[in-house]
């Protein structure tokens, strides 16, 4: 645990008592604060109270007497589409609002660091797609080369549940827009922006608000190095804003589809090869095509971003390359589950939006595509240019029939359930085919989250393997 600093004898309210909320309350208490906790769920409140938290009804004015700060969980809206009533009350009373990310950045450095030979560092990764894989890949490389490292944030361990840093350690954080948009302190040593595509637009009041939430990690924090994916205009704009001159190597530009020219520092992938350029000259190159844990152009973008971040903390190209080869990938993100009878089964349940699904469809040939769920605004019409590799689509979930109308002449079948989709796809697949779960939709019609959806797919494939 990382005790929160400078809160001794303060009364601090905590809204939301899920994993991060309870960890935040514990870290505040460890720092000497008096915590007043609240959650909208009766069962959640009762469970938290049984664990020793003081439950205070923050919907009542009297609860705010003496409260110095409100700490809110990331999933609770504070502005759009409208503030949560408790947050609206804090706004009205002038009580500062923060989250666990802000508390982490103001509490991570301690006096113990004065005795370290190497100062601990923080790498923070944000973006629309690929940030989990990029975060995990950076952490994997660091551990493989023997560098002490921890991983947390939006993946794995909550930030305040991490251990205090040791000499030379690197903490790698995945940060969502929900986390970056409100944190009062954002001071990573290296900040990574993977890409941007429309998502969570109701929460951010549109695409501009969504980009602004991501941009805060760079504008507010002033990282020593910024790794910026420039395959979209937002990334180009961000890199331009952060650079003082064309050769400013505090910004490392990253691309997965084009060679990057100029005198600065860049890392890009073309035709399966990663290249690093500095001052207009190539300084390193590696072959990504045989790295099984990183299939497809979207994972090559992740590899470029992770490579750049690792270079920014002093790792050598060859040790990064060696570590890449032992990376197994993350569950639910282009995860190869099995190869049965020459047919590859891939779980990309995390592909919940158009951009992620498009990248999954571009990563494989002869695809038997399992798609559907709770469709998002706009449906999947925008995926039509990427359907040339789809042999047949198997449509599941709430939006199955709507999606069937949006995929044009692509052969398809409405099968409703995951069981039926896996059964039909496996029965019809031929050697060389890939059965790909890339839903392009949320999971909440049939599953509590994308992880459970992916786990169901994996279980069904494992049943096939057992015969």
Binding-site residues for ATP, in ranges, read 127-133
Q: Is the pLDDT of residue 355 over 90?
A: no
Rounded to 10 deg, the angle between the 296-312 and 354-361 helix axes is 100
Q: Is the pLDDT of residue 197 over 90?
A: no
Determine the Cα–Cα distance for residues 365 and 208; give it in Å rounded to an integer. Answer: 35
Tokens standing for residue 452: 């459970």
> 215-238: per-residue pLDDT in tens?
999 998 789 999 999 999 999 999
| DSSP state letters, 288-313 | -TT-TTS-HHHHHHHHHHHHHHHHHT
Q: What percent of the chain has pLDDT over 70?
A: 100
CATH superfamily of 11-98: NAD(P)-binding Rossmann-like Domain (3.40.50.720)
Give the pLDDT score at 295: 84
The secondary element (H helix, E strand) that includes residue 265 is strand 265-270
Taking residues 92-120, report their average pLDDT.
97
Quickly state the pLDDT bin for 199 (edges 50, 70, 90): confident
Give the pLDDT score at 328: 83
Determine the Cα–Cα distance for residues 130 and 356; give it in Å rounded to an integer. Answer: 8
**Is domain 335-466 annotated with CATH 3.40.50.2300?**
no
Contact criterion met (CB below 8 Å) for 78 and 84: yes
pTM here? 0.85
Quickly state the pLDDT bin for 467 (edges 50, 70, 90): confident
Cβ-count burial of 300 within 10 angstroms (0-12 exposed, 13-18 middle, 19+ buried)? Answer: buried
Which CATH class name applies to 106-325? Answer: alpha beta
Determine the Cα–Cα distance for residues 16 and 239; give it in Å rounded to an integer. Answer: 35
Give the pLDDT score at 322: 96
Tokens standing for residue 309: 């971040």
436 pairs with which residues across the strands? 346, 369
Count Cβ atoms below 10 Å from residue 244 Cβ, excluding itself: 8
Half-sphere exposure (Cβ direction) of 58: Cα atoms closer than 13 Å: 33
Chain centre distance of CA 234: 18
Quickly state the pLDDT bin for 379 (edges 50, 70, 90): very high
Tokens standing for residue 243: 């650079």
> 114-141: per-residue pLDDT in tens?
999 999 999 999 999 889 999 999 999 9
Give the pLDDT score at 325: 94
Taking residues 50-61, report their average pLDDT.
95
In whole angstroms, how far apart are CA 467 and each of 70, 345, 347, 361, 418? 55, 15, 20, 28, 18
Q: For the chain, give the mean pLDDT.
A: 95
Strand residues in 115-181 grouped as ranges (E): 121-126, 149-153, 170-174
Binding-site residues, in ranges, read 127-133
Taking residues 265-286, report their average pLDDT.
96
Give the pLDDT score at 290: 84
Residue 275 zone, left/alpha/beta (φ > 0; ψ -120 to 50; rest): beta
Q: Is the pLDDT of residue 331 over 90?
A: no
Going from N- to C-terminal start, the domains of the chain cover 11-98, 106-325, 335-466
Give the pLDDT score at 261: 87
Question: Is beta strand 281-287 parallel, antiparallel or unpaired with respect to 367-372?
Answer: unpaired
DSSP-H helix ranges across 196-351: 201-204, 207-219, 233-242, 296-312, 317-325
Determine the Cα–Cα distance for residues 195 and 304; give it in Å rounded to an integer. Answer: 12
Going by the DSSP 8-state scheme, the letter that residue 18 receives in this structure is: S
Cα–Cα nearest to 453, from 465, 440, 466, 467: 440
Taking residues 356-375, report their average pLDDT.
94
Quickly state the pLDDT bin for 19 (edges 50, 70, 90): confident
69 backbone dihedrals φ, ψ, rounded to 5°: -155, 150
> 30-47: per-residue pLDDT in tens?
999 999 999 999 999 999
Give the pLDDT score at 415: 97
Give the pLDDT score at 359: 87
Question: Is beta strand 367-372 parallel, antiparallel or unpaired with respect to 121-126?
Answer: unpaired
Give the pLDDT score at 283: 96
Taking residues 39-62, report their average pLDDT.
95
Count Cβ atoms below 10 Å from residue 153 Cβ, excluding itself: 27
């Amino acid at each position: 645990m990382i005790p929160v600093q400078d809160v001794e004898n303060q009364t601090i309210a905590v809204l939301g008592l899920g994993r991060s909320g309870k960890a935040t309350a514990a870290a505040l208490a460890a720092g000497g604060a008096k915590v007043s906790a609240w959650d909208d769920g009766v069962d959640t409140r009762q469970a938290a109270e049984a664990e020793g938290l003081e439950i205070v009804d923050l919907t009542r004015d009297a609860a705010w007497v003496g409260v110095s700060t409100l700490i809110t969980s990331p999933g609770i809206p504070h502005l759009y589409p409208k503030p949560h009533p408790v947050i609206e009350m804090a706004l009205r009373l002038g009580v500062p609002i923060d989250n666990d990310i802000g508390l982490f950045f103001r509490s991570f450095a301690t006096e113990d660091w004065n005795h370290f030979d190497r100062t601990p560092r923080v790498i923070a990764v944000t973006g629309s797609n690929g940030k989990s894989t990029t975060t995990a890949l950076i952490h994997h490389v660091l551990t493989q080369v023997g560098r002490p490292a921890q991983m947390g944030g939006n993946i794995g361990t909550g930030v305040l549940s991490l251990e205090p840093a040791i000499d030379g350690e690197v903490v790698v954080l995945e940060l969502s827009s929900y986390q970056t948009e409100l944190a009062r302190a954002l001071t990573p040593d290296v900040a990574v922006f993977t890409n941007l595509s429309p998502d969570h637009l109701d929460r951010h009041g549109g695409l501009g608000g969504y980009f602004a939430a991501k941009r805060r990690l760079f504008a507010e924090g002033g990282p020593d190095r910024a790794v910026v994916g420039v395959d979209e205009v937002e990334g180009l704009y961000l890199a331009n804003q952060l650079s003082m001159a064309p050769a400013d190597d505090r910004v490392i530009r990253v691309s997965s589809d084009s060679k990057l020219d100029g005198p600065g520092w860049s890392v890009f992938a073309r035709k399966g090869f990663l290249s690093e350029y500095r001052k207009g000259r190539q300084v390193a190159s590696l072959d990504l095509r045989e790295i099984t844990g990183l299939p497809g152009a979207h994972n090559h973008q992740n590899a470029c971003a992770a490579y750049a971040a690792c270079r920014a903390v002093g790792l050598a190209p060859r040790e990064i390359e060696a570590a890449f080869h032992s990376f197994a990938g993350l569950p639910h993100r282009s995860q190869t589950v099995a190869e049965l009878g020459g047919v590859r089964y891939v779980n990309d349940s995390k592909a919940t939006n158009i951009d992620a699904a498009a990248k999954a469809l571009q990563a494989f040939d002869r695809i038997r595509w399992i798609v559907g769920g709770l469709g998002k605004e706009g449906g999947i019409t925008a995926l039509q240019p990427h359907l040339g590799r789809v042999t047949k689509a198997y449509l599941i979930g709430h939006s199955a029939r709507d999606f069937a109308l949006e995929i044009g002449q692509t052969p398809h079948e409405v099968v409703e359930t995951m069981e039926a989709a896996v059964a039909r796809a496996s029965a019809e697949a031929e050697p060389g085919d890939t059965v790909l779960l890339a839903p392009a939709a949320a999971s909440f019609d049939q599953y509590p989250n994308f992880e459970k959806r992916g786990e169901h797919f994996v279980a069904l494939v494992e049943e096939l393997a057992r015969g």
